[in-house]
Amino acid sequence: MIRRRIPLTAIISSSLIAGGLFMLDLPKSEETPQRLSLPLTHTASTPSVSVGSSAIAAIQPDPVSQPREELPPSYMRTLEVGRGDTLMKILLNAGINRGDAHTAIEALQSEFDPRRLRPGQKIHVTFQPGRHEDMPHTFEEMRLNTGFAKDVFVARQEEGEYQAGKETQELITSLHRAEGTIDSSLYLAASKAGLPASLLMEFIFAYSFDVDFQRDIQKGDSFQIMYEQISTKDGLHSKMGNILFASLSLSGDHMPIYRFKEKTGRIAYFNDKGQSAQKALMRTPINGARLSSGFGKRRHPILGYSKMHTGVDFAAPRGTPIYAAGDGVIDFAGRKGGYGKYIRIRHNSEYQTAYAHMRAYKKGMYKGKRVKQGQIIGYVGTTGRSTGPHLHYEIIRNGRKTNPLRVRMPSGKKLKGAELARFMDVKSQYDQQYASLAPVISVASAQ
């Protein structure tokens, strides 16, 4: 067996379990693993917002810890979970004796079920060599990552038993600004501005009630976005947070939106007047679909003659979930001629929406059932008169079928009174923060 020695980045004193600081010893080495078991705190506190900060906390050695001059430095090995591995097998393979492995696994179970280990997951194991070369190395600690900046560990105690614990790193939220002008596509402009793809999707979704991104975007249109990035204090892990503010300017028409938590706890985007960016109905009640046929007169692909197409078609793989476009009550669920499996929802006295060619209804979707916007009602199929899996979607206004991509959407919620005042405070705070940030410049050149 190959024992690769890796200098330990932190010598962990026994005060760790008591929640104290670790004593440090930082030998710099090429082999130092990309991980420090350092400034961990034991609380999952809400992240503090610090604009543009990347400071790393200075680490003070714990004066209480006992020096370990007599012992050679401990070292860490990183083990990877293979297919079909059990934790016991992994620890035995690492040279840990069966008794210690068993006790450590038993202790770990109070914090983490070892059956949840996935292939590829890393386990960091720390050993303490004895005073003399021929002495066995003691299994001191085992640590694994269970989520963003979250670790579970077991550590050996004085008496040779193991105790488990959990640690969550303190997180820092920083704000970033991305802006750009669209030359050819929104996607290119966004990537040039350094906007991560996941946030571009969030941005598009936030505007999807008002903007048809396939048709409304023109050269010269522009966008501005302020978003969060959440990092661990040591800077080793980071992930994208939320878009707090965005503005889309279409043909000189500015459309700012702000993220706001309502008193009910619901989080949504509102425009600068406190009007919900989310409308009563969705134009596209399906994710990741391609518009395959628009509204209007067309040559019918099956019947072969020109016929009015009374909705829009979204091509999507069979089984793709279909959402209720708005809150309402199902007033029809069943087979309906060429529409195949069909659901119609009544939203108010003025609007209904209809969904056709479904493969299946979601369980419990029957006439009279109340549904919420975004709730799954069924799945894409090709039942009825249809040439392939797609959703045929109709918006019916006062009994007339209208073009879902063109209809002026009934508006959503408007904030009022004290809540509107609170929103205005948040809005001006975000405006000021945005103004104070420098835009992110992308280093990657867009080809």
170 sits near Zn ion (criterion: CB under 5 A): no
Minimum distance from residue 379 beta carbon to Zn ion (Å): 17
Minimum distance from residue 366 beta carbon to Zn ion (Å): 24
Residues 85-144 that bind Zn ion (CB under 5 A): none
CB-CB neighbours of 318 under 10 Å: 13
**3-state SS string over the chain?**
CCCCCCECCEECCHHHCCCCCCEECCCCCCCCCCCCCCCEECCCCCCEECCCCCCCCCCCCCCCCCCCCCCCCCEEEEEECCCCCCHHHHHHHCCCCHHHHHHHHHHHCCCCCHHHCCCCCEEEEEEECCCCCCCCCEEEEEEEEEECCEEEEEEECCCCCEEEEEEEECEEEEEEEEEEECCCCHHHHHHHCCCCHHHHHHHHHHHCCCCCCCCCCCCCCEEEEEEEEEEECCCCCEEEEEEEEEEEEECCEEEEEEEEECCCCCEEEEECCCEECCCCCCCCCCCCCEEEECCEEEECCCCCCEEEECCEEEECCCCCEEECCCCEEEEEEEECHHHCEEEEEECCCCEEEEEEEEEEECCCCCCCCEECCCCEEEEEECCCCCCCCEEEEEEEECCEEECCCCCCCCCCCECCHHHHHHHHHHHHHHHHHHHHCCECCCCCCCC
Choices 7-15, 238-246, 247-255, 312-320 (CB under 5 A): range interacting with Zn ion: 312-320
Minimum distance from residue 228 beta carbon to Zn ion (Å): 40
Instruction: Name the residue nearer to Zn ion (CB basis): 100 or 313.
Output: 313
Choices 82-90, 194-202, 384-392, 431-439 (CB under 5 A): range interacting with Zn ion: 384-392
Instruction: Name the residue nearer to Zn ion (CB basis): 234 or 394.
Output: 394
Instruction: Name the residue nearer to Zn ion (CB basis): 279 or 357.
Output: 357
Instruction: Name the residue nearer to Zn ion (CB basis): 392 or 427.
Output: 392
Nearest residue to the partner Zn ion, using Cβ: 392
Site string for Zn ion, 53-72 (x = CB under 5 A): --------------------
Instruction: Name the residue nearer to Zn ion (CB basis): 62 or 212.
Output: 212
CA distance 340 to 349: 26
Strand partners, 414: 275
Total number of residues that touch Zn ion (CB under 5 A): 2
Minimum distance from residue 308 beta carbon to Zn ion (Å): 11
392 sits near Zn ion (criterion: CB under 5 A): yes
Minimum distance from residue 347 beta carbon to Zn ion (Å): 20
Choices 43-51, 359-367, 391-399, 434-442 (CB under 5 A): range interacting with Zn ion: 391-399
Choices 159-167, 279-287, 310-318, 407-415 (CB under 5 A): range interacting with Zn ion: 310-318
Instruction: Name the residue nearer to Zn ion (CB basis): 150 or 307.
Output: 307
Name the phi and psi angles at 206, rounded to 5.
-60, -30
Choices 36-44, 191-199, 268-276, 387-395 (CB under 5 A): range interacting with Zn ion: 387-395
Instruction: Name the residue nearer to Zn ion (CB basis): 210 or 313.
Output: 313
313 sits near Zn ion (criterion: CB under 5 A): yes
Instruction: Name the residue nearer to Zn ion (CB basis): 179 or 313.
Output: 313
Minimum distance from residue 300 beta carbon to Zn ion (Å): 10
> CB under 8 Å to 196, separation ≥6 — which residues?
240
Instruction: Name the residue nearer to Zn ion (CB basis): 33 or 384.
Output: 384
- Exposure pattern of 277-293 as b/e (b: 16+ CB <10 Å)? bbbbbbbbbbeebeeee
Residues in the chain: 447
Choices 47-55, 311-319, 330-338, 437-445 (CB under 5 A): range interacting with Zn ion: 311-319
Residues 183-202 that bind Zn ion (CB under 5 A): none
Minimum distance from residue 424 beta carbon to Zn ion (Å): 44
394 sits near Zn ion (criterion: CB under 5 A): no
341 sits near Zn ion (criterion: CB under 5 A): no
CA distance 310 to 96: 70
Choices 134-142, 274-282, 366-374, 385-393 (CB under 5 A): range interacting with Zn ion: 385-393
Instruction: Name the residue nearer to Zn ion (CB basis): 11 or 356.
Output: 356
Instruction: Name the residue nearer to Zn ion (CB basis): 151 or 313.
Output: 313
Minimum distance from residue 328 beta carbon to Zn ion (Å): 21
Q: Which residues bind Zn ion (CB under 5 A)?
A: 313, 392
